[in-house]
Amino acid sequence: MASATDKNEFFTVAAEPQVNSNIPPGPLAEKWTQHKFNMKLVNPANRRKHTIIIVGSGLAGASAAATLGEQGYNVLCFCYQDSPRRAHSIAAQGGINAAKNYRNDGDSVYRLFYDTIKGGDFRAREANVYRLAEISSNIIDQCVAQGVPFAREYGGLLDNRSFGGAQVSRTFYARGQTGQQLLLGAYQALSRQIDAGTVKMFPRTEMLDLVIINGKARGIITRNMVTGKIERHVGDAVVLATGGYGNVFYLSTNAKGCNTTAIWRAHRRGAFFANPCYTQIHPTCIPVSGDYQSKLTLMSESLRNDGRIWVPKTPGDKRPPHQIPEDERDYYLERKYPSFGNLAPRDIASRAAKEACDAGRGVGPGGLGVYLDFSDAIKRLGRQKIEERYGNLFEMYAHITGEDPYVTPMRIYPAVHYTMGGLWVDYNLMSNITGLFVAGEANFSDHGANRLGASALMQGLSDGYFVLPATMGNYIASEKPEKVDINHPAFAEAEAEVVERTKKLLSINGNRSVDSFHRELGKLMWDNCGMARSDESLRYALSVIPKIREEFWQNVKVPGEGEELNQELEKAGRVADFLELAELMCIDALHRTESCGGHFRIESQTEDGEAKRDDEHFTYVAAWESTGVGKPPVLHKEPLNFENVQLATRSYK
């Protein structure tokens, strides 16, 4: 390995990496089937004797809770929202991929697998991705049976649309609200189990620490967000399905409550954090309009099926869009990537937008925007057809901007959307802590360095409906977790730490609000660890983050008390964790001197500005072990072996 990746003042490298992916042997296409057969089972009558804790109730959490409950386990499910139906999976718009090949356009499990590996810039595990592609079809069947109202054609069969990074139509959708309908399907399946008594639901409850006993994850410490009560919960296994950490940037398309606390607390307890720098910047979001901005709104990628992206050819052209003649417009995606055109993958489309704006050709206030224009599609298909496909998205755009996108082209700009990184897991979705499983966006497993559109929903439901229910039984049956209860000293110790931390946050009583720190951190991360990263920018961020963190712990103001509904306290705890995570993200980004997918190091690009991978030195998963706040983490490298796919330069030209 080259010295660049070996270490610097910010981290050390484990001589003997403790990351065993546990990928089953055998040919790619038979691994999962064979593995399922080889796994141990728990007798249906014995399942209710085992308690499984699931944190998070989005697509991954709700589907896992519903399925494990249905199998007969005693499930405890936690979410910070007032109802499991509100998890942020609900906001996913465009669709869910599945290798059904209903279009007869050449799709197959292998093609979905290949597209996902390539889309992820060859930084994901083959075996995991193949399993995902294999399961994708079952997910659609399951959701249809639950009553998810997918879009249909007049013949009554399921409709498909295209998505970025693919040349087949394999995306199933429910208008622009696919995530909502899939989540409500999972929520209803979960509700059925709550009614049946197999799942006990704890809404408005936040996990604040993980409890480890004899090296195994055995429980969690939570805070009841209405009464403030700190509580202990014990189980035979813990599943974290708490989503991504995009809110480290403050402004993102995530819901305001999305946070890293559950996975970060687990990381601090020993769980490895993999590829934290892999962040997805989504190309089509509504641009920032001012300093007060609290979040960014995504405009689904599906819009790129019919919308054409362009900027004026001349820098500084301030004419309104309809006055700019056709030959003075640059449809830059169609120009640069003729075979994928406007459906180039997200990382590529985002960088191209940044490039156009950096060249002074951006539109709208501050020049941070590009047009997404539907006039051709409206001319070709009629307004009604466009309304049918994207009605709610156009409405949302009009609500926010006060402009009518049927008449004036949308203005869009990239924004933080998804985090491919997350807790490290093996093929069974178990972290390096025995008994701690991680599912959905919270893990790092399937998307490599860039996630393709309509694949997050697929992964969340694959993990929850099909993977965890299989691997959990095997874990319980082979580990036979010993009996422990909440009076174990490890619970008391973890609880005391949580109480102490809460007390500390409330007692600082400084001069700055939680939000002001969060905004400061977010801007620093966006400027230095965002769409383009460099050795210089990352070192700068790494010099500033500890200072912000230090000031936070001396000068934050958290009004109110602990034993009540206290939203500032909730935010403070989350921002405190973001302030630690941000540092690890920058260290990871600094150590990975190659560009790949969403991670773009300006030092590593081709002549025409595309991401340049360094396969010789970086074909591995970077799994980080915590050694304490502000101390250099330890890097464990899990090599990625490509046995079926040949590493190639990713081209969408």
The residues, ordered by sequence, that sit 6+ positions from 605 with a Cβ below 8 Å of its Cβ are 595, 611, 612
Please enumerate in sequence order all residues whose Cβ is within 8 A of that of 113, keeping only pairs 6 or more positions apart, or say none.
126, 129, 130, 132, 133, 134
The yes or no reply on residue 184 touching another protein (CB under 8 A) is yes
- Cα–Cα distance for residue pair 43/45, rounded to 1 Å: 5
Asked if 412 and 281 touch (Cβ cutoff 8 Å), the reply is: no
Restricted to residues 57-116, the positions that interact with another protein (CB under 8 A) are: 63, 66-67, 70, 81-86, 88, 90-91, 100, 102
Structure tokens at 174: 């429910």
CA-CA distance, 457 to 648, in Å (whole number)? 27
Residues 392-411 within binding reach of another protein (CB under 8 A): 396, 399-400, 402
Residue type, 221: I
User: Any idea which residue has 């190639």 for tokens?
Assistant: 648
* Spatial contact of 498 and 221, defined as CB atoms under 8 Å apart: yes
Residues facing 152 on adjacent strands: 158
CA distance 524 to 548: 10
Should residue 564 be labelled a site residue for another protein when binding is judged by CB under 8 A?
A: yes
Closer by beta carbon to another protein, 201 or else 274 = 201
* Catalytic residue check, 346: yes
What is the distance between the alpha carbons of residues 212 and 219, in angstroms, rounded to a whole number? 7
Cβ 98 to another protein shortest distance, Å: 8
Smallest distance, Å, CB 392 to another protein? Answer: 8
263 token code pair: 């996975």
* Comparison of 18 and 289: residue with beta carbon closer to another protein: 289
Q: Does 198 bind another protein (CB under 8 A)?
A: no
Among 334, 515, 520, 551, binds another protein (CB under 8 A): 515
Question: Is the distance from CB of 373 to CB of 324 less than 8 angstroms?
Answer: no
| Closest C-alpha among 97, 50, 100 to residue 76 | 50
Residue count (the chain):
653
Tokens of 114: 């290949």
Beta strand 436-438 with 237-240 is parallel
Interface residues for another protein in 299-358 (CB under 8 A)?
A: none
Taking the complex as a whole, the smallest distance from the CB of residue 294 to another protein amounts, in Å, to: 5
Nearer to another protein, 572 or 635 (CB): 572
Please pick, from the candidates 6, 30, 141, 550, the single residue that binds another protein as defined by CB under 8 A: 141
51-55 and 74-78 strand pairing: parallel
- Cβ-based neighbour number of residue 315 at 10 Å: 12
Compute the least distance from the CB of residue 189 to another protein, in Å.
6
Q: 133 by DSSP, 3-state: which?
A: helix
> With CB under 8 A as the contact rule, which of the stretches 151-159, 313-321, 379-387, 451-459 interacts with another protein?
151-159
Give the ranges where 100-177 is alpha helix by DSSP (H): 109-119, 126-146
Contact between 559 and another protein (CB under 8 A)?
Answer: yes
Verify binding: residue 201, another protein, rule CB under 8 A: yes
The residue within the footprint of another protein, chosen from 29, 151, 508, 544 (CB under 8 A), is 151
Please say which residue, 143 or 356, places its beta carbon nearer to another protein: 143
335 half-sphere exposure, CB direction, 13 A CA radius: 11
Nearer to another protein, 354 or 417 (CB): 417
User: Of the two residues 36 and 269, which places its CB atom closer to another protein in the complex?
Assistant: 36
Calpha distance 296→401 (Å, rounded): 12
In the region spanning residues 232 to 291, those forming contacts with another protein, defined by CB under 8 A, are 253, 255-257, 289-290
> To the nearest whole angstrom, how small is the minimum distance from the Cβ of residue 396 to another protein?
6
Q: Which residue, 140 or 221, has its beta carbon nearer to another protein?
A: 140
Work out which of 74, 116, 169, 181 binds another protein, going by CB under 8 A: 181
Place of tokens 């308690």: 51
Closest distance of CB 195 from another protein, Å: 4
33 lines the binding site for another protein (CB under 8 A):
no
Shortest distance, position 509 Cβ to another protein, whole Å: 9
Residue by residue, what is the 3-state secondary structure of 387-440?
A: HHHHHHHHHHHHHHHCCCCCCCCEEEEEEEEEECCEECCCCCCECCCECEEECH
User: Is 521 among the residues that bind another protein (CB under 8 A)?
Assistant: no
Among 27, 147, 215, 382, binds another protein (CB under 8 A): 147
CB of 530 vs another protein, minimal distance in Å: 21
Minimum CB separation of residue 255 from another protein in Å reads 4
Identify the CA nearest to 445 among candidates 241, 593, 262.
241
Nearest approach, Cβ of residue 605 and another protein (Å):
34
Q: Identify which of residues 147 and 630 has a Cβ nearer to another protein in the complex.
A: 147
Beta bridge partners of 413: 285
Q: Which of 138, 167, 534, 555 binds another protein (CB under 8 A)?
A: 138
Contact segment (CB under 8 A) with another protein among 239-247, 375-383, 561-569, 642-650 equals 561-569
Q: How far is the CB of 439 from another protein (least distance, A)?
A: 14
Q: Which stretch binds another protein (CB under 8 A): 21-29, 294-302, 303-311, 602-610?
A: 294-302
Whole-angstrom Cα distance, residue 24 to residue 20? Answer: 11
Give whichever of 107 and 121 is closer to another protein, judged by the CB atom. 107
User: How many residues belong to the site for another protein (CB under 8 A)?
Assistant: 81
Q: Which of residues 586-645 bind another protein (CB under 8 A)?
A: none
Mask 155-174, x = binds another protein (CB under 8 A)?
xxxx-------------x-x
Per CB under 8 A, 376 contacts another protein: no
Cβ contacts of 141 within 8 Å, gap of 6 or more: none
Binding mask 427-466 toward another protein (x if CB under 8 A, else -) reads --------------------------------------xx
Applying the rule CB under 8 A, the residues between 460 and 499 that interact with another protein are: 465-466, 469
Helix, strand or coil for residue 189? helix
Distance between first and last Cα of the chain: 32
> Which residue in 304, 346, 613, 650 is the catalytic one?
346
- If you write DSSP's letter for every residue of 361-391 in order, what string do you get? ---SGGG--EEEE-HHHHHHH-HHHHHHHHH
**In the complex with another protein, which residue's Cβ is closer, 371 or 466?**
466
Among the residue ranges 295-303, 534-542, 576-584, 620-628, the one whose residues contact another protein (CB under 8 A): 295-303
Q: Are 330 and 371 in contact (CB under 8 A)?
A: no
- Which positions are annotated as active-site residues? 346
